[in-house]
């Protein structure tokens, strides 16, 4: 198997760089999904196109094993420019693969190609190529379109590259991996007036300042200190910089809230609203509050974590980490893991070159991780669908 994967690396490397050069945003992955579907069909898989818009599912069956698993890769890019100069730099202005989804797609295609040739397993594998992970709701839409009804899974697995870990290193950890990702909006409605006569109006900007300062009392003084939580204001819109003698009627504030537990998630929703309404009352103005639940947290299931850990140890040996800090970023893989026991693993991407981390304009997937990543996916399928013990 190792020789087979090694022989495919030049093709996979060219594929990854071609995907990087032609990034597509969520639900716009027409070129990418066509490449994925064509390569899966060429490898002999059953292919379902168009699930969740531009999603693709390839199915490979072998033997009579009753177990069925899903492996997921995300395909979308981000709406941001690429600043680093490399031969496979984005050819699309304002779009780039700044999170390594080009690599994730390549790894899963590499595993499908290898497993289609060796067929060293007994059961069913669904290779799930998801659109629109970057905040546009691709996983939720695939589930709503019948992903697990059409392709039942006893377990589902996700993988993400991680700078700071070596390309031949992997972290597989039970429990929380990524936080819930929710959005909130507060509009303070005052009464505009001349900046020189504030007593004739109701100033929403002063109220907004008090509210913004008070926000950090939620994670700092309300949430249990042993429970991680993040509340951030990320947008403030008020007044006109060309009219600096006018106190406006409105201040619009928006931000994000993150947590790992449903209880803390509910607490954040309630507390942001309580502060908004309390601040409005204190300044004798009105407040509108909206909280949008977007993505649940990713929590690795004990059983699937042990199964992934066994495969990772077969491939990475002593370079498998079983302790690794969770991320406060979000990933809608959570919707898949809500339908079947799930595990989300971290594959090393090497050092952060020039400080370039995920969502940086100079970020790039490390091609040295292609071989190890493909080997992990292949070994996971072989172990999961062979009757080997789940626990070492």
Is this model's pTM higher than 0.75 or not?
A: yes
Does 234 show up as a binding residue in the annotation? no
Q: Angle formed by the axes of helices 262-282 and 204-215, to 10°?
A: 150
Residue 392, in any domain of the structure:
no
Which residues pair with residue 48 across a beta bridge? 57
Q: How many whole angstroms separate alpha carbon 168 and alpha carbon 151?
A: 31
Q: Are residues 325 and 289 in the same domain?
A: no
Q: Within this chain, do residues 223 and 285 fall inside the same structural domain, yes or no? A: yes
- Quick one: 140 and 68 in the same domain? yes
d(CA 252, CA 207): 11
The CATH number for 202's domain is 3.30.70.360
How far is residue 333's CA from residue 377's CA, in Å, rounded to a whole number?
Answer: 17
Handedness of CA 15, 20, 23, 27 (dihedral sign): positive
Please tell me whether 160 is known to bind a ligand. Answer: yes
Structure tokens at 273: 């609203």
Q: Which residues are catalytic?
A: 76, 133
Radius of gyration of the chain (CA): 24
Separation of alpha carbons 131 and 79, rounded Å: 14
Backbone dihedral region of 227: left (phi > 0), alpha (psi from -120 to 50 degrees) or beta? beta
Give CA–CA dist 349/365, Å, rounded.
7
Going from the C-alpha of 387 to that of each of 65, 71, 122, 123, 286, the distances in angstroms are 9, 18, 9, 10, 62
Which CATH number covers residue 63? 3.40.630.10
Average pLDDT, the chain: 96
274, 305: one domain: no
- Residue 134 is labelled as binding a ligand: yes
Q: State whether 122 and 262 are in the same domain.
A: no
Cβ-Cβ contacts under 8 Å for 384 (sequence gap 6 or more): 67, 69, 121, 123, 155, 307, 311
Are 219 and 268 in the same domain? yes
Instruction: Tell me how long the chain is.
Output: 392
Q: Is-contact 48 40, C-beta < 8 A?
A: no
Report yes or no: 223 and 230 within 8 Å, Cβ to Cβ: no
- 187 and 219 assigned to the same domain: yes
Q: What is the pLDDT of residue 255?
A: 98
Q: In the listed set 264, 295, 326, which residue is the last one of a domain according to the structure? A: 295
Please name which of 209, 208, 255 lies closest in space to residue 233, comparing C-alpha atoms. 255
Residue 359 annotated as lining a ligand binding site: yes
- Assigned domain for 15 exists: yes
Measured CA to CA, the distance from residue 121 to residue 63 in angstroms comes to 7
Residues 86, 216 within the same domain: no
pLDDT of residue 110: 98
94-to-81, 89, 145, 237, 262 alpha-carbon distances in Å: 4, 12, 30, 24, 36
Structure confidence at residue 392 (pLDDT): 45
Cα dihedral value 129, 134, 136, 138, nearest 10: 20
The runs of H, that is alpha helices, within 84-194 are 101-118, 138-144, 147-150
Mean pLDDT, 10 residues at a time, the chain of 392 residues: 91 98 98 98 98 98 96 98 96 98 98 97 98 96 98 98 96 97 98 97 98 97 96 98 97 98 97 98 98 97 98 98 95 97 98 85 97 98 75 42
- Give dist(CA 60, CA 377) in Å, integer: 14
Q: How many domains, the chain?
A: 2
pLDDT of residue 391: 40
Do 21 and 170 belong together in one domain? yes
Q: How does pLDDT run across 216-262, given as a tens digit for each residue?
A: 999 999 999 999 999 999 999 999 999 999 999 999 999 999 999 99
Q: Is 287 found in the same domain as 305?
A: no
The domain boundary residue, chosen from 295, 317, 332: 295
pLDDT at 217: 97
> Residue 224 belongs to what domain range?
180-295
């Amino acid at each position: 198997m190792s020789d087979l994967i090694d022989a495919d690396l030049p093709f996979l490397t060219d594929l990854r760089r071609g995907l990087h050069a032609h990034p597509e945003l969520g639900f716009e992955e027409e070129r990418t999904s066509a490449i994925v579907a064509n390569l899966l069909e060429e490898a002999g898989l059953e292919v379902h196109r168009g699930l969740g818009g531009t999603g693709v599912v390839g199915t490979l069956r072998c033997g009579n094993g009753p177990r069925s698993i899903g492996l997921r890769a995300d395909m979308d890019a981000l709406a941001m420019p690429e600043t680093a100069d490399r031969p496979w730099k984005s050819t699309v202005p304002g779009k780039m693969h700044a999170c390594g989804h080009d690599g994730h797609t390549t790894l899963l295609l590499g595993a499908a190609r290898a497993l289609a040739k060796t067929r060293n397993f007994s059961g069913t594998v669904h290779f799930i190529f998801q659109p629109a992970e970057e905040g546009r709701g691709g996983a939720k839409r695939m589930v709503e379109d019948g992903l697990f009804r059409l392709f039942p899974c006893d377990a589902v697995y996700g993988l993400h590259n991680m700078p700071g870990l070596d390309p031949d290193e992997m972290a597989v950890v039970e429990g929380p991996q990524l936080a819930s990702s929710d959005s909130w909006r507060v509009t303070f409605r005052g009464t505009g007036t001349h900046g020189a006569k504030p007593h004739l109006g109701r100033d929403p900007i002063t109220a907004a300042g008090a509210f913004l300062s008070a926000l950090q009392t939620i994670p700092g003084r309300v949430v249990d200190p042993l429970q991680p939580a993040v509340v951030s204001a990320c947008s403030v819109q008020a007044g006109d910089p060309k009219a600096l003698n006018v106190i406006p009627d409105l201040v619009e504030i928006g931000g994000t809230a993150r947590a790992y537990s449903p209880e803390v998630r509910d607490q954040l929703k309630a507390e942001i609203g309580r502060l908004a309404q309390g601040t409005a009352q204190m300044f004798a103005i009105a407040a509108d509050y909206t909280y949008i639940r977007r993505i649940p947290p990713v929590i690795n299931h004990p059983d699937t974590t042990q199964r992934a850990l066994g495969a990772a140890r077969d491939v990475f040996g002593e370079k498998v980490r079983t302790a690794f800090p969770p991320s406060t970023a979000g990933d809608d893989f959570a919707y898949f893991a809500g339908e079947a026991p799930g595990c989300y693993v971290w594959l090393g991407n090497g050092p952060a070159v020039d400080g370039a981390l995920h969502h940086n304009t100079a970020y790039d997937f490390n091609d040295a991780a292609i071989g190890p990543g493909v080997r992990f996916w292949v070994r996971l399928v072989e172990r999961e669908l062979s009757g080997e013990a789940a626990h070492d």
